[in-house]
Structure 1
Amino acid sequence: MPKKLSLEGRIAAISLLAVAIGASIPIVLIQQGINTPLAWTGGLLLALPTVLLLLRLVIGPISHSLKALEGGLLNFRDGDFSVSLVTRRNDQLGYLTKLYNEVAEILRRERAHIYQQELLLDTLIQSSPQALLLVDQGDHIIYSNSGARHLLNRGKPIQGLTVKRLLPHCPQELADAIEKKKEGLLSYSENGETRTLHLSNSSFVLNAQKHQLIVIREMTRELTRAEVQVWKKVIRLISHELNNSLAPISSMAHSGKLLIRQPGQSEALEKVFDIIADRCQHLTEFTQGYARFAKLPAPSREPVRWQQLVERLKPLHGFTLKGELPNRPGYFDPVQMEQALLNLFKNAAEAGSDALNTELQIKVDQHGQELVIRDRGHGMSEKVLQQALLPFYSTKPQGVGLGLTLCREIIDAHGGRIQLQNRAGGGIQINLWLPWPETQTAE
């Protein structure tokens, strides 16, 4: 079967044919003895329709194919990939049409795949127990899930509403937290029951506009379960500590009774009473530690000179001051902060860090005040580091697991944060960050 000419070949052939027709007319006229300008013009005019007809036979199908490709590309621009083109051409335009159909098929499959993924994601989000709200730059809710509708609007649709219009339907505590873009735990009473929620806010840019994602998580059951577990652990710890102290006290008391009946046992009796006194002292410290943790009052903040804080801590525990003290006074509860720092210095000493290698550095900026404690003790494993701030967690044989927990409670009460990390070369670094009160401005 002879191979068809390409598009360029067809146009070239038509051009050559038109030249041949145009050149043959003068030859024919000369052979017939006609050699006038009028005859020549008439001959050319007779040849022109033939040339145009031949050109139309070639260019017409080309124009039709180009218009079809143009329409298909316009559909692509509008996001419509459903149109396929039919062609019987076996040239470059036919090849382009084939490529167009292949691209359209790929785009159709990818769109179907993305649609299935979006459907799966939407199903997961809608069935999530967390309440999710996506708010655009104009404060309109552009997306929400079932949990958000039931929590915030009694199951009624909220998409399209503004946050300001939605808030009156929410519990007052939750409405205030959303309006002020707060984060963290909040509690309120509903139908005689206390509900606890965790609220988080995040901002991001989508389609060149700022959006806000609000996630509200129900924490009541989780906190109840956690509270029960904590109480069980507390009971086990207290029972363990009491048994460890009461058992030897009882044994020593019985031994003391036997020694009293024997003359010349005053030295042995003294040892018995020393052991009893030691166990009683341990029980006293144990119960006082729990009492301090349970009765931690709200911080009474006041301006504190850093030099005064350092001078009060130095005699109680050895450490090295690193860097210069800021000129701007701190603002916190001095008694609670001293207690937190003493606990950290005590931990550093028990971890094997001496006063020279235990450092305190104090820094302030426009956002807050930061105290950094570094030691060169034995550090912590990753597992211990993750649980070090949990109540009643301790790796010490005689520890009650309240030292770091008390520090965290003090820092949290000040609205700050505590961070622990291992140091390169051994030891721990603890960062205590406290914000300035809202009434103060940066100097």
Structure 2
Amino acid sequence: MRLRSLEGRLALWLAFAALTGVLVYVGVTRWPLPQMVGWLHDNLSKSISQPDHTQAILICAAVLAPLSWWFAYIVMNPVKRLLRALEGAVASYRDGDFSISIALDRHDELGDLILVHNELGQTLREQRQNLAQRELLLDTVVQNTPVALVLTDANGRVAYANIAARHLFNEGRNLNGLHFATLIADSPEALRKATEGSEDALFSVEMDGMEETFHLSQRAFRLQGRPHRLQLFRRMTRELSRQEVAAWKRVIRVVSHELNNSLAPISSLAHSGAELARRGDVQRLPGVFATIGERARHLHGFIDGYARFAKLPAPRPVAIEWRPFLDALALHCRFQLMGEVPSQTGWFDPVQIEQVLINLVKNAHESGSVPEGVTLSLSVIGHELRIEVADRGPGMSEAVLAQALLPFYSTKRSGTGLGLALAREISEAHGGRIALANREDGGLRVTLMLPQTATTM
């Protein structure tokens, strides 16, 4: 136990107090009080009797009581001062002020506590400063982003809006505290309908005599224990225009390539046929005409595929019994059915989904997979139908996976790049989605997710 610790100091004070008590008791019962009483009795003829044991204890108590209070004050005063300082510091922390430090020079446990407290205050000040800098950076980024951001509370009033939102909805004026629904009451119907829903949406409105397309992202969350709603309005007109131009360039490039591949041989064969007819060599003309017809049919099929992709009708979902559907599918392509067939009926357009599965199974066979490695599985997860077509081919690289679902993208020499794009178009028209992923043990898995109505579940 160190002497400068609280325990050491308290032990010294207790020892001092005990010694003081002993000295007082000895002074009252032994010396000098008895001698003083005797001297008064002998020299001044004062009839003062010697104190008995009880009187001695009372005299000691009368002397030691103020001494005890003084000792207690000396021992507890530093603790009381520290507690008051800590109380003030905690109150400051509660109010968000971390600038308080305790200036007490001690070298015991109280000093250690003061040191830890001051270090805590310094840490909190640094964290507050870093947090303030981050908040300033985040606010600067959010305020200057071109995406219009609107945060509303549970009552629909705007709690936060950046510069883009103020210019979009209130001519640059502040939006805080305004009711957002009232603010956009006179806005175009497409905007109001998009904000009334809870899902992301893409809508177009007329602004300054031009049509502007916006993408709306909406998220609900709790902020400080209260529900809030965040809405992000992003102008997509320029981006969509760039994507549209890029798509048209890709279409023109693919169509030009295919037309040249077909028209060049046809032109050459027509010239050869004319030359053979001029020389009277008619025996070789049927072969020339057959080749021209084959190239013309190929070109017709190519154009017809693009026409069907562009004119894809809206799906007409109906209740589907699985066994007849799978039997009809097996007449067009070969696959191994994995797992059990769902007991409940499906809900989709049978013609369109059959075409998707035929294309997927055909791609699986063309990947180089063994025939028995091409599998089809069906399952129902929640309110979604999951259809998987898998193979044991080489799979796809990350670059190909990222672009495989884009129209006109193909790694095949004679591919049109429409098979997977058509599958994506049909699945999204059903309200579903399609995903491609490499299998861990080799091969590719194509997953088709289609929403199912409550009546089919």
TM-score (norm 2): 0.86
Pairing 1:441–2:455 present:
yes
Superimposed CA distance per residue, residues 192-234 of structure 1 (whole angstroms, 9 cap, x where no aligned partner)? 4222222223344554555443333221110001101111121
| Partner residue of 2:353 out of 315, 337, 340 | 337
Provide the rounded CA distance (Å) in 1 between the counterparts of 2:322 and 2:354.
12
Superimposed CA distance per residue, residues 68-126 of structure 1 (whole angstroms, 9 cap, x where no aligned partner)? 12322332344321111222333332332233222211211111011101111111111
For 1:68-87, list aligned pairs within 5 A. Answer: 68-87=85-104
Q: CA, structure 1 residues 172+45, in 2 after alignment: closer, same or farther (shift >3 Å)? A: same
Q: Secondary structure at the match of 1:356?
A: helix
Q: CA RMSD in A?
A: 2.8
Q: CA, structure 1 residues 35+404, in 2 after alignment: closer, same or farther (shift >3 Å)? A: same
User: In the alignment, which residue of structure 2 is the partner of 1:125?
Assistant: 142
Percent pairwise identity:
45
For 1:220-235, list aligned pairs within 5 A. Answer: 220-235=237-252
Runs of 5+ in structure 1 lacking a partner?
A: none
User: Deviation of residue 18 (structure 1)?
Assistant: 2.7
- Paired residue type of 1:250: S
Is the CA contact 1:363–1:369 (under 8 Å) kept in the aligned structure 2?
A: yes
User: Deviation of residue 13 (structure 1)?
Assistant: 3.0
User: Deviation of residue 43 (structure 1)?
Assistant: 5.1
For 1:356-367, list aligned pairs within 5 A. Answer: 356-364=372-380, 367=383
Q: More deviation in 68-77 or 38-47?
A: 38-47
- Paired residue type of 1:53: W
Provide the rounded CA distance (Å) in 1 between the counterparts of 2:285 and 2:376.
46
- Paired residue type of 1:321: L
Q: CA, structure 1 residues 271+94, in 2 after alignment: closer, same or farther (shift >3 Å)? A: same
- Paired residue type of 2:101: S
Provide the rounded CA distance (Å) in 2 between the counterparts of 1:347 and 1:173.
40
Provide the rounded CA distance (Å) in 1 between the counterparts of 2:341 and 2:77.
88
For 1:78-97, list aligned pairs within 5 A. Answer: 78-97=95-114
User: In the alignment, which residue of structure 2 is the partner of 1:217?
Assistant: 234
Provide the rounded CA distance (Å) in 2 between the counterparts of 1:126 and 1:254.
68
Provide the rounded CA distance (Å) in 1 between the counterparts of 2:289 and 2:431.
47
- Paired residue type of 2:189: Q
User: In the alignment, which residue of structure 2 is the partner of 1:249?
Assistant: 266
Provide the rounded CA distance (Å) in 1 between the counterparts of 2:92 and 2:253.
71
| Partner residue of 1:275 out of 250, 267, 291 | 291
User: In the alignment, which residue of structure 1 is the partner of 2:411?
Assistant: 395
Q: CA, structure 1 residues 44+302, in 2 after alignment: closer, same or farther (shift >3 Å)? A: closer
User: In the alignment, which residue of structure 2 is the partner of 1:186?
Assistant: 203
Provide the rounded CA distance (Å) in 2 between the counterparts of 1:119 and 1:242.
58
Superimposed CA distance per residue, residues 112-166 of structure 1 (whole angstroms, 9 cap, x where no aligned partner)? 0111011111111111122233444555543332233333444333334455444
User: Deviation of residue 418 (structure 1)?
Assistant: 1.0
Which is greater in Rg?
2
Is the CA contact 2:390–2:446 (under 8 Å) kept in the aligned structure 1?
A: yes
User: Deviation of residue 383 (structure 1)?
Assistant: 1.0
Is the CA contact 2:346–2:456 (under 8 Å) kept in the aligned structure 1?
A: no
Q: CA, structure 1 residues 67+293, in 2 after alignment: closer, same or farther (shift >3 Å)? A: same
Is the CA contact 2:345–2:456 (under 8 Å) kept in the aligned structure 1?
A: no
Q: CA, structure 1 residues 19+356, in 2 after alignment: closer, same or farther (shift >3 Å)? A: closer
User: In the alignment, which residue of structure 1 is the partner of 2:398?
Assistant: 382
| Partner residue of 1:300 out of 309, 316, 325 | 316
Q: Secondary structure at the match of 2:106?
A: coil
Residues paired across the two proteins, number: 438
User: In the alignment, which residue of structure 1 is the partner of 2:37?
Assistant: none
- Paired residue type of 1:295: K
Q: Secondary structure at the match of 2:372?
A: coil
User: In the alignment, which residue of structure 2 is the partner of 1:8?
Assistant: 7
Q: Secondary structure at the match of 1:168?
A: coil
- Paired residue type of 1:275: T
Is the CA contact 1:377–1:428 (under 8 Å) kept in the aligned structure 2?
A: yes
Q: Secondary structure at the match of 1:370?
A: strand
Q: CA, structure 1 residues 273+377, in 2 after alignment: closer, same or farther (shift >3 Å)? A: farther
Q: CA, structure 1 residues 87+193, in 2 after alignment: closer, same or farther (shift >3 Å)? A: same
Q: More deviation in 109-118 or 34-43?
A: 34-43
Pairing 1:421–2:437 present:
yes
User: Deviation of residue 4 (structure 1)?
Assistant: 8.3
- Paired residue type of 1:426: G
User: In the alignment, which residue of structure 2 is the partner of 1:102?
Assistant: 119
Runs of 5+ in structure 2 lacking a partner?
A: 35-49
